[in-house]
Chains A and B, each alone.
Chain A
Amino acid sequence: MKRTFADLHLRPNLKDSEQVRRMMRKASELGYRLISIPLPTNLPEEKIQQLRNMCKEAKVDFASRIDLKPQTSRELIHSLRRLRRKFEIIAVACKSKPVARQAAKDRRVDLLSFPSLDFRRRFFDKAEGELASKSLASLEIDIKPLLTLEGPTRIRLLSSLRKEVAVAQSFHIPIILSSGVSSELLMRMPRELAALASLFDVNRTSALEAVSKNPVDIVKRNRGKLDPRFVAPGIRVVRRGNDCRKA
């Protein structure tokens, strides 16, 4: 079966609609069928619809995403309560250990991301892994720093990623490979992202799933939950009102 490739972290400048359009077209050319762009919380619904239409023109599916950067776990819980039903993907940038732990155990969080250059703040250890394994969170890895960094910094990043991937795999936490780029020239084909994952010991099958099955599953799951007919996992409203009498 043909894979549906997804890049859940494109970061064009939303004020430059021409650049947004170019990046969407490029994503389509490179073989992606689903993309996501982090949106500000206050973005009006019309603007999101405009992005969806632009994606439709480029023949890619669009998933709305928000990147939360809370300072405290309390702030995280508050933001999740306010925003979970408005966005298809919620990513949390874990800047402190309490935030990382809260994000890992909260079932409303989809993606856990860690600062790529601040190695002391990469909190994805065994404790984090154990918490995340009981929730629905996935580990998001951006490929951009691997392209832009060089020398000792890239070596250190690869070493951290190798450890985190080992933890994620031991706790069966899905890994998501995203580009995290804001320019077209840094965009790569899905199979190239998967090849780059071999640098931190992700095998070929897992790497391909990290750019196809894993991100697509998150979007499918959340779209199901955001559907007005959704009641609880496995329970959906099939008919209501007059429709019930016809049956």
Chain B
Amino acid sequence: MPKGVRRRYLALKIDSEEVFSSREFMNAVWNSVLKLYGEYGASQTGLALIDYDEEKRFAVVRCVHKAVVTVRTAVASMTEIGGKPVAVHVLKVSGTLKALYSKLRSA
């Protein structure tokens, strides 16, 4: 029996005065991954938005566990969303959503 895909959940904090929609945010993340790793590299990340809070400027994205460094690098290299300057920081990384939220609560 083939094993299921191992995934990682990344909690992200958007450091900016502005408010962005989830679509704007994910477009910026995808653009950053594409710029650094190309379409082939981006296709291997399995990137998906799981949770997004506009007001708290907080997001959770999911990726394949082998692509954590790729996604972390792409997210770190983001300097703007829709022409507005931002910094996006990875707060926590976890294997399950439950563990991720509990790590965030205890931090």
Contact = CB atoms under 8 A, between A and B. Distances in A.
Contacts of B72: 191-192, 195
A186 B79 CA distance: 7
Nearest to B85: A185
Contacts of A147: 77, 79
B69 A204 contact: yes
A198 B41 CA distance: 14
Contacts of B77: 146-147, 196
Given A147-B79, A148-B79, A199-B36, A185 B73 contact: no
B103 interface: no
A192 B36 contact: no
A188 interface: yes
A3 to B, nearest CB: 16
Interface in A193-223: 193, 195-196, 198-199, 204
A157 interface: no
A231 to B, nearest CB: 44
A117 interface: no
A187 B87 contact: yes
Main secondary structure on chain B at its contact with chain A? mixed
A186 B77 CA distance: 9
A196 B79 contact: no
Interface residues of A, number: 19
A127 B31 CA distance: 39
A187 B15 CA distance: 11
A117 B42 CA distance: 28
Contact of B73 (A30, A150, A189, A199): A199
A136 B86 CA distance: 37
Interface in B1-46: 15-16, 35-36
B90 interface: yes
A82 B65 CA distance: 52
Contacts of A185: 15-16, 79, 85-87
Contacts of B86: 185
B73 A188 contact: no
Contacts of B87: 184-188
Contacts of A199: 36, 73
B17 to A, nearest CB: 10
A185 B16 CA distance: 8
B76 interface: yes
Interface string A31-61: 0000000000000000000000000000000
27 contacts: A30-B89, A146-B77, A147-B77, A147-B79, A148-B79, A185-B16, A185-B85, A186-B79, A186-B87, A188-B76, A188-B87, A188-B89, A189-B76, A189-B89, A189-B90, A191-B72, A191-B90, A192-B73, A192-B75, A192-B76, A192-B90, A195-B69, A195-B73, A196-B77, A199-B36, A199-B73, A204-B69
Interface of B: 15-16, 35-36, 69, 72-73, 75-77, 79, 85-87, 89-90
Interface of A: 30, 146-148, 150, 184-189, 191-193, 195-196, 198-199, 204
In the A-B complex, the 3 residue pairs with the smallest Cβ-Cβ separation, listed nearest first, are: A192-B76, A195-B72, A195-B73
